[in-house]
Amino acid sequence: MYRIALDVMGGDHAPHATLEGARKALEAHEDLFLFLVGDEARMRPLLETHGIRGGLAARTELVHAASVVTMDDKATAILREKRDSSIRVAAKLVKDGMADGVVSMGHTGAAMIASMKVIGMLPGVDRPALASVLPNMKGRPTVLLDVGANVECRSEHLVQFALMGSVYAEQVLGVRNPRVGVLSVGEEDAKGSDTTKMAALTLKGLDINFAGNAEGRDIWNGAFDVVTCDGFVGNVVLKSSESLAEGILRGLRDSIMGSLRSKIGGFLIKPAMLSFKKKLDYAEYGGAPLLGVRAISIIGHGRSDGRAVANGIRAALRACEHRVADRIHTAMSELLPQAGYGTPGEGDGAE
Amino acid sequence: MYRIALDVMGGDHAPHATLEGARKALEAHEDLFLFLVGDEARMRPLLETHGIRGGLAARTELVHAASVVTMDDKATAILREKRDSSIRVAAKLVKDGMADGVVSMGHTGAAMIASMKVIGMLPGVDRPALASVLPNMKGRPTVLLDVGANVECRSEHLVQFALMGSVYAEQVLGVRNPRVGVLSVGEEDAKGSDTTKMAALTLKGLDINFAGNAEGRDIWNGAFDVVTCDGFVGNVVLKSSESLAEGILRGLRDSIMGSLRSKIGGFLIKPAMLSFKKKLDYAEYGGAPLLGVRAISIIGHGRSDGRAVANGIRAALRACEHRVADRIHTAMSELLPQAGYGTPGEGDGAE
- Inter-axis angle of helices B324-335 and B155-171, nearest 10: 130
CB nearest to A264's CB, from B243, B268, B270: B268
Interface pTM, i.e. ipTM? 0.86
Percentages helix, strand, coil for chain B, rounded to the nearest 5? 50, 15, 35
Q: Which amino acid is at A48?
A: E
- Rounded to 5 degrees, what angle do the CA atoms A237, B173, B9 make? 75
Q: Round the average pLDDT of chain B to a whole number and report it.
A: 89
Strand stretches in chain A, DSSP E: 2-7, 32-38, 60-64, 101-104, 129-135, 141-145, 180-183, 210-214, 226-228, 288-291, 296-299
CA distance A75 to B84: 57
CA distance B241 to B233: 12
DSSP annotation string for B90-127: HHHHHHTTS-SEEEE-S-HHHHHHIIIIII-BPTT-SS
Chain segment A110-151, per-residue pLDDT in tens: 999 999 999 999 998 999 999 999 888 888 889 999 998 788
CA distance A346 to B134: 48
Q: Is the pLDDT of residue B153 over 70?
A: yes
CA distance A2 to A317: 7
Please, which pLDDT band fits residue B54 given cuts at 50, 70 and 90?
very high
How high is the pLDDT of residue B280? 62
Contact: A185, B215; criterion CB under 8 Å: no
CA distance B9 to B86: 6
* Count of C-beta atoms within a 10 Å radius of residue B80: 8
CA distance A261 to A48: 50
CB nearest to B255's CB, from A184, A221, A272: A272
Chain B residues whose CB is inside 8 A of the A194 CB are 152
Give contacts of A 166-205 with B, CB under 8 A.
Answer: 183-185, 192-194
CA distance A319 to A100: 10
Q: Do residues A171 and A322 lie in contact, with contact meaning Cβ atoms separated by under 8 Å?
A: yes
Q: Do residues B208 and B159 lie in contact, with contact meaning Cβ atoms separated by under 8 Å?
A: no
H helices of B149-281, where? 155-171, 194-204, 231-256, 260-280
CA distances from B187 to B156, B183, B191, B203 (A): 20, 9, 7, 15
How high is the pLDDT of residue A242? 87
Please, which pLDDT band fits residue A341 given cuts at 50, 70 and 90?
low
Interface test with A, best of B107, B191, B248 (most A CBs within 10 A): B248
Compute and round to an integer the Cα radius of gyration of chain B. 21
Chain segment B4-27, per-residue pLDDT in tens: 999 999 999 999 999 999 999 999
Percentages helix, strand, coil for chain A, rounded to the nearest 5? 50, 15, 35
Chain segment B241-300, per-residue pLDDT in tens: 988 888 888 877 777 777 777 778 777 777 777 766 666 665 566 789 999 999 999 999
Question: What is the mean pLDDT of the segment spanning B60-88?
Answer: 92
Chain A residues whose CB is inside 8 A of the B138 CB are none
- Please list, in sequence order, all residues whose beta carbon lies within 8 angstroms of the beta carbon of residue B122, skipping any fewer than 6 positions away: B292, B293, B294, B325, B328, B329, B332, B347
How high is the pLDDT of residue A350? 47
Chain segment B109-127, per-residue pLDDT in tens: 899 999 999 999 999 899 9
How high is the pLDDT of residue B350? 47
Helix (H, G, I), strand (E, B) or coil at A133: strand
How high is the pLDDT of residue A27? 97
Q: Is B252 on the interface with A (CB under 8 A)?
A: yes
Helix (H, G, I), strand (E, B) or coil at B212: strand
How high is the pLDDT of residue B349? 44
Please, which pLDDT band fits residue A283 given cuts at 50, 70 and 90?
low
- Rounded to 5 degrees, what angle do the CA atoms A207, A230, A163 make? 20
